[in-house]
Copies of this chain bind each other. A is one copy, B any other.
Amino acid sequence: MKYKGMDVISLRDLDRDFLDFLLKKTKEVKEGKWQNSCKGMIVASLFFEPSTRTKLSFDTAIAMTGASMIGFSSAATSSTAKGESLSDTIKTIDQYANIIVMRHSIEGAARRAAEVANAPVINAGDGANQHPTQTFLDLFTIYELKGGIENLKIGLMGDLRFGRTIHSLAMALSYYNVELYLISPSILQLPSYYIDYLDSKKIKYHITEDFTQIGKELDVLYCTRIQRERFADPVEYEKVAGSYEISTKNIDSLSKDTIILHPLPRVNEIHSSIDTDPRAKYFYQAKNGVYTRAALLGIIAGNIN
């Protein structure tokens, strides 16, 4: 019951105890335990910014818990489109719902909602800021497939500079004794803020531009997209892009046990011919999103403990 009614806004608010608890309970949910953990409850699924993937994942999780869902999938059909303040919209929906899940394009929107709502608020992404349940499902997939997180060697690849998913995952992994490989073009390296954070947590890390050199070392390779728009010079982009695309040409530089993860959607960074490779776990990872979110809902409801 410790986490009953808790808001889940940012990874910064959470500690290792919570993460360990969530991982364990997600496993139990996946094994069929804790059904109907939100039976009779109303969960509001408020997507002020569209996101099919995340919305359908949450909606599936809500159905799994036995709760009823209310909500919307774009701001165009919401009251805020008519000039109402976000606070008032949330205060009203707070009257209807037992738990509020929300995605918003503005950084800090979920925090603001949590301040005015009595119901617990789960941040399903606020602009370029936080998207904690993505990190939870990433972490759970590693935990489940590798039998734990301690002592793993994990590659984070792609746009480490701007990638929200990468930043959150790096912070979450820092609660554990892992060794990180930071794989990116030099202009898209992990910002010094996060490097300092890793240092402060005494996390061992390696900075490299080429995953093929260290692929055999990796337990996990977590890939993200490199956006062409990040490069002032398109020629520069073309020069590096290929090095961060996994295909039949380079996949064997990974070990046979390296799992490949990706937050999705992907464009070219993993070739579709890789999808049938047993190491490709990104769709499996998406499925874990449902279990992770169902577990989180039941924990916040106070019914999973």
Contacts and interface: CB of A to CB of B under 8 A. Distances in A.
Given A82-B265, A88-B264, A272-B87, A56 B74 contact: no
A95 B52 contact: no
Given A71-B56, A77-B74, A83-B267, A95 B50 contact: no
Contacts of A177: none
Interface string A27-51: 0000000000000001010000011
A248 interface: no
A84 B266 CA distance: 7
A303 interface: no
B52 A77 contact: yes
Interface residues of A, number: 48
Which of A87, A89, A95 gathers most chain B CB within 10 Å?
Answer: A95
Contacts of A272: 87
B60 A96 contact: yes
Contacts of A87: 272
Interface string A64-81: 100010111110111101
A93 B63 contact: no
Nearest to A288: B95
A44 B60 CA distance: 9
A219 interface: no
A76 B73 CA distance: 10
Interface string A202-229: 0000000000000000000000000000
Given A50-B77, A265-B82, A283 B95 contact: yes
A53 interface: yes
Which of A52, A283, A286 gathers most chain B CB within 10 Å?
Answer: A52
19 contacts: A42-B63, A52-B77, A52-B78, A52-B79, A53-B79, A56-B72, A56-B93, A59-B70, A60-B68, A60-B70, A63-B68, A63-B70, A88-B265, A91-B275, A91-B283, A92-B283, A92-B286, A95-B286, A96-B287
